[in-house]
Structure 1
Amino acid sequence: MFNLEEFLLMREKRVEIQNEIIQEFKTPILVLRANYPGEEKNNFVPKYIVEIMKKEILQIFNSHIIFTKKIDSIEGPTYIYAIKSSGEELKKIAMEIEDSHILGRCVDIDVFDKDGYPFSRKDFGGEKRQCLLCDQMAFLCGRNRTHTQMEVQEAISNKLESYLMMENSKAKTTNSFSNLALKAIILEVSASPSFGLVSPHTKGSHEDMDFFTFIDSGFSLNNYFKEVIEAGYSPLSVDLIFKKIRHMGKIAEIEMFTATNNVNTHKGMIFLMGITAALAAKAKYEKLPFNDISLLIKEMCRNILKDFDNIHKKTVLTHGEKLYVKHGIVGVRGVVKNGLDLIFNGSIEVFQNSLNAGEHINHAMLRTLIFLMGNLEDTTILHRHDIEILNFVRSRANDLHLKFDNSDLDMNLLSEIENEFISKRISPGGAADLLAITMFLSFIKKYF
């Protein structure tokens, strides 16, 4: 039997706990509760919805969460998070989740600043939340009792059912895309001859890794690919998706280094494939055409070169920053900022044309790798060498691309060039990463 006095006492107790957490941690807090009418706030539907939304909160804020408190009471399950962030940013993200997520209207996500101030939508020019059943504001329908309690509960159950149906579609996309991501990076290291890269036949220009190191590394990333694809298959903005996958990428790096005994095989790939696979899934969720993946990447990575804005003020520069200062080179980051234009309007066509012509996939990979080597300012090459060697590689690759444009590849010549590159310790790692991304995108194109 519903006890109003008990309910009010529990609410007071929760507010007291919230204030204690704010005082202890001196940070804003985020409070997650079910928005469910009636007395049964602890039945399956609201409890399940809160657990689903809890996962979203954890993925978005991840390591910024410094304390979590769960309260089980007559109010239903409540999670309180102390988060290292500004209260304003937290509230904006909370509003986006409430407005965008399928289950967003089924929860309340309240944010309190570190001084205890309760942010409202009005503080950010937002309107009050809309009713689940009509176009009116929810508070008006509640005040006027426009809908019965049972009607609102049924609407919430329908939202949950829609979410579970979406999860089935997400699972299919995740399985397909993650398998193809793994296939792409295994194929990339299988290309031969590969101009100083690791292959099944040679360590290339490397002493600390071989083909089997890459196999170990590749399979260590399988769960990461699944996670970023799941994160991308979402109605949330690309900025919130990026918040999720950035933390996933950090974990993936640790797992990669564990699998390879601290050899860096796929650090660049973690970045590139993470973004590409997540936004391919986002495009799939939004039912967008294939080429719109490029637009999503451009949107997510619009600030990727911001590190270079105040570079003149820095006293210690990274290798990439030194290359930017000396030569204006931004490497793969520039390609990403342009939405992988080099791939969408270049290398995919090279790869697909070769396969369509009946060539072996190894030949298709080599043609694509040559194209990418000729068009990319590969900072991996510059890590070991100077701009003259990079220009030499690009010129040689462009000559090869023209030479074999309408003829079969001369594998003996390519083997000679590979040996030359190995003798000079040249390894076009940036082009290799883009080759894997090219193949992944080519493989998933049929799903759009």
Structure 2
Amino acid sequence: MFNLEEFLLMREKRVEIQNEIIENFKNPILVLRANYPGEEKNSFVAKYIVEIMKNEVLEIFNSQIVYLQKIESIEGPTYIYSIKDLGKNIKKIAIEIEESHILGRCVDIDVFDNNGCLFSRKDFGGEKRSCLLCSDMAFVCARTKKHTQKEIQIAIEKRLEKYLDSERNKIEIVNTFSNLALKSVILEVSASPSFGLVSPHTKGSHEDMDFFTFIDSGFSLGSYLKKVISAGYSPLSVDLIFKKIRFMGKLAEDDMFLATNNVNTHKGMIFLMGITAALTAKAKFENLSFNEIPSLIKEMCRDILKDFDNIHKKTSLTHGEKLYIRHGIVGVRGVVKNGLDIIFNGSIKIFENSLISGEHINHAMIRTLLFLMSNLEDTTILHRHDIEILNFVKLKAKNLHLKFEKTSVNIKLLTEIENEFIKKKISPGGAADLLAITMFLHFIKTYF
């Protein structure tokens, strides 16, 4: 039996806990509860939805969460997060979750600043939440009792069913796309000759890694690939998806270094494949065409060069930042900012035309690698050498690409050139990463 006095006392207790968390951690807090009508706030449906949304909040804010507490009460399950960020940023994200997630309307997400003041949707130009059943404002329908509790509960249950249907579809996409991504990563290191890269036959220009290092590294990325694809198969904006996968990428780097004994084999691949795989899944979720994937990539990466804005004020620079200062080269960030144009309007056609002509996949990979080497400002080469060596590699690769444009690939000649590259310690690592992305996009194209 519903006890109003007990309910009000619990609400007061929750407010006390919220204020204590704010006082202890000096951060804004996010409070997540079920938006479920009636007295049964602890019904299976309400609790299940809150658990689903709890995980969404965890994935979005990840390392920014400094404290999390769950309260079980007559109010239903409540999660309180202390988050290290500006309250207004947290509230903007909370509004997006409520509006875009399938279950967003089935929860209340309140945000309080570090003084305990509640943010309102009006503070951000937003309107009050609409009704689950009609186009009116929810508070109007509640005040006039336009809909019965049972009708609203049924509407919430239908939303949950829709979410679960989407999750069932997601499982197939995640498994299929992640397997094809991993296949592409393994195929890339299997290409030979590969002009100073690691292959099954040579360590290339590397002393600290070999083919088996890459196999260990590649398979360490299996769970990461599933996670980013799962994150992408979502109604959330590309900005929130990017926020999710950036943290996932950091964890994937840790897994890679653990698998390789601290050797950097796939750091660039983690970045590129994470963005590409997530957005192929996003395109699939939105029922977009394959050719619309570049637009999603451009949207996600539109601000990716902002890190260079105040670069001259920095006291510590990354390798990429040093290359930007010296040569104005933006590397892989520029490639994704342009929506992987070098692939969608270049390398994928090279790879597919080779396969269509009946060539072995190894020859298709070599042709594609030569094309990428001839067109890419490869920062891996620049990091090891200088602009003269990069230009030498681009010209050599271009001539070879043109030489074999209408004839078979001469493996003997290319092996001799590979040996020359190894002697010069050249390794086109950036082109190698893009080769893997090219193959992944080719493999998933049939699913659009």
Residues in 2 aligned to 1:335 and 1:90: alpha-carbon distance in whole angstroms:
30
Counterpart in 1 of 2:293? Answer: 293
Counterpart in 2 of 1:98? Answer: 98
Please list, as runs of the form range in 1=range in 2, the aligned pairs for 1:413-432 lying within 5 A after superposition. Answer: 413-432=413-432
Counterpart in 2 of 1:259? Answer: 259
SS of 1:33's partner is strand
363-372 or 16-25: bigger deviation: 16-25
Counterpart in 1 of 2:236? Answer: 236
User: What residue identity is the alignment partner of 1:415?
Assistant: T
Counterpart in 2 of 1:215? Answer: 215
SS of 1:291's partner is helix
Per-residue CA distance 1:154-188 (angstroms, 9 max, x = gap): 00000000000000111010000000000000000
SS of 2:209's partner is coil
Counterpart in 2 of 1:346? Answer: 346
User: What residue identity is the alignment partner of 2:428?
Assistant: P
1:117 aligns with 2:117: yes
Residues in 2 aligned to 1:25 and 1:346: alpha-carbon distance in whole angstroms:
52
SS of 2:359's partner is coil
Counterpart in 2 of 1:150? Answer: 150
Counterpart in 2 of 1:268? Answer: 268
Residues in 1 aligned to 2:339 and 2:105: alpha-carbon distance in whole angstroms:
33
Please list, as runs of the form range in 1=range in 2, the aligned pairs for 1:32-431 lying within 5 A after superposition. Answer: 32-431=32-431
What is the Cα deviation at residue 314 of structure 1? 2.9
Residues in 2 aligned to 1:318 and 1:263: alpha-carbon distance in whole angstroms:
17
Per-residue CA distance 1:248-281 (angstroms, 9 max, x = gap): 1111111110111111100110100001000110
User: What residue identity is the alignment partner of 2:240?
Assistant: L
User: What residue identity is the alignment partner of 2:120?
Assistant: S
Residues in 2 aligned to 1:162 and 1:312: alpha-carbon distance in whole angstroms:
50
User: What residue identity is the alignment partner of 2:212?
Assistant: F
What is the Cα deviation at residue 312 of structure 1? 2.5
What is the Cα deviation at residue 322 of structure 1? 2.0
Residues in 2 aligned to 1:442 and 1:331: alpha-carbon distance in whole angstroms:
23
User: What residue identity is the alignment partner of 1:408?
Assistant: S
Residues in 2 aligned to 1:77 and 1:316: alpha-carbon distance in whole angstroms:
45
Per-residue CA distance 1:42-68 (angstroms, 9 max, x = gap): 111000000000000000001110111
What is the Cα deviation at residue 318 of structure 1? 2.6
SS of 2:407's partner is coil
Counterpart in 1 of 2:11? Answer: 11
What is the Cα deviation at residue 24 of structure 1? 1.1
SS of 2:110's partner is strand
Residues in 1 aligned to 2:48 and 2:320: alpha-carbon distance in whole angstroms:
46
Per-residue CA distance 1:310-329 (angstroms, 9 max, x = gap): 22223443322221122111
Residues in 2 aligned to 1:279 and 1:164: alpha-carbon distance in whole angstroms:
21
User: What residue identity is the alignment partner of 2:169?
Assistant: S
Structure 1: 4+ residue segments shifted above 4 A: none
Residues in 1 aligned to 2:319 and 2:228: alpha-carbon distance in whole angstroms:
28
Per-residue CA distance 1:382-414 (angstroms, 9 max, x = gap): 111010000000000000111111111111110
User: What residue identity is the alignment partner of 1:19?
Assistant: N
Per-residue CA distance 1:337-374 (angstroms, 9 max, x = gap): 10100001000000000001110000000000000000
Per-residue CA distance 1:84-112 (angstroms, 9 max, x = gap): 00000010000000000000000000000
What is the Cα deviation at residue 333 of structure 1? 1.3
Residues in 2 aligned to 1:437 and 1:140: alpha-carbon distance in whole angstroms:
51
User: What residue identity is the alignment partner of 2:181?
Assistant: A
Residues in 2 aligned to 1:404 and 1:41: alpha-carbon distance in whole angstroms:
69
User: What residue identity is the alignment partner of 1:323?
Assistant: L
Residues in 2 aligned to 1:333 and 1:77: alpha-carbon distance in whole angstroms:
42
Residues in 2 aligned to 1:318 and 1:36: alpha-carbon distance in whole angstroms:
49
Aligned residues: CA RMSD: 0.7
**Identity across aligned pairs (percent)?**
78
Residues in 2 aligned to 1:437 and 1:318: alpha-carbon distance in whole angstroms:
24
- TM norm structure 2: 0.99
Residues in 2 aligned to 1:110 and 1:416: alpha-carbon distance in whole angstroms:
65
Residues in 2 aligned to 1:284 and 1:62: alpha-carbon distance in whole angstroms:
25
User: What residue identity is the alignment partner of 1:318?
Assistant: T
Residues in 1 aligned to 2:119 and 2:327: alpha-carbon distance in whole angstroms:
47
SS of 1:365's partner is helix
User: What residue identity is the alignment partner of 1:59?
Assistant: E
Residues in 1 aligned to 2:41 and 2:227: alpha-carbon distance in whole angstroms:
31
What is the Cα deviation at residue 331 of structure 1? 1.4
Please list, as runs of the form range in 1=range in 2, the aligned pairs for 1:21-36 lying within 5 A after superposition. Answer: 21-36=21-36
Residues in 2 aligned to 1:296 and 1:230: alpha-carbon distance in whole angstroms:
16
User: What residue identity is the alignment partner of 2:387?
Assistant: I
User: What residue identity is the alignment partner of 1:381?
Assistant: I
User: What residue identity is the alignment partner of 2:65?
Assistant: I
SS of 2:151's partner is helix
Residues in 2 aligned to 1:178 and 1:322: alpha-carbon distance in whole angstroms:
34
What is the Cα deviation at residue 18 of structure 1? 0.6
SS of 2:275's partner is helix
Residues in 1 aligned to 2:17 and 2:251: alpha-carbon distance in whole angstroms:
32
User: What residue identity is the alignment partner of 1:441?
Assistant: L
Residues in 2 aligned to 1:315 and 1:146: alpha-carbon distance in whole angstroms:
62
Per-residue CA distance 1:111-132 (angstroms, 9 max, x = gap): 0000011001011000000100
